[in-house]
Structure 1
């Protein structure tokens, strides 16, 4: 039996987007002191986006690992390389990588 999910009101979606923005900015500020707290902020932002069916901005998608959901900062806990027209982010904690196309 297929269940139908109701559409969230635009007011809730606006609040969710602002909450996601705040969580990512807090994760960026806290990262140097406490990486686990930054990872927790990313987790909360992802769950909020899924609950309210909000797409994350592309700049936010590049800030966390798709496999282990850790907050990424280039040179500290991830490596960023260009490879045949793509940016390749390699996470040091799970050793997996994510590829993003370079804009022309």
Structure 2
């Protein structure tokens, strides 16, 4: 069923709120990493409720297994291998790999 009851202005607002939550997660991570994890959970809930994809830059900032906010060097290990980036969450030890195109 299509979103008949929702006004069309909801999706941009949801994207904006997701961006705000990720910026708050980045600011509060050094003092309270558990708050950052909560902000990621809230952003995911907003995205699911309003059927909005989380932008690529934000998707790569959290673990897709344990949903923790990831910061390279603090709770995440990043390795680059022949055009692939492997990001290891040091909380749950899950490895996420994604392709990186070479810029000309």
TM-score normalized by structure 2? 0.91
User: Superposition RMSD on alpha carbons, in Å?
Assistant: 1.2
Query: Out of 6, 22, 29, which is 2:3 matched to?
Result: 6
Give the Å deviation of 1:6.
2.4
* CA deviation vs aligned residue, 1:4-48 (integer Å, no higher than 9, x gap): 352543211111111001000000000000011000000100110
Give the secondary structure class of the aligned counterpart of 1:10. coil
Give the secondary structure class of the aligned counterpart of 1:46. helix
* 4+ residue segments displaced more than 3 Å: none
CA distance in 2, matches of 1:73, 1:103: 22
Q: What's 2:87 paired with?
A: 89
TM-score normalized by structure 1? 0.91
Query: Out of 33, 38, 47, which is 2:45 matched to?
Result: 47
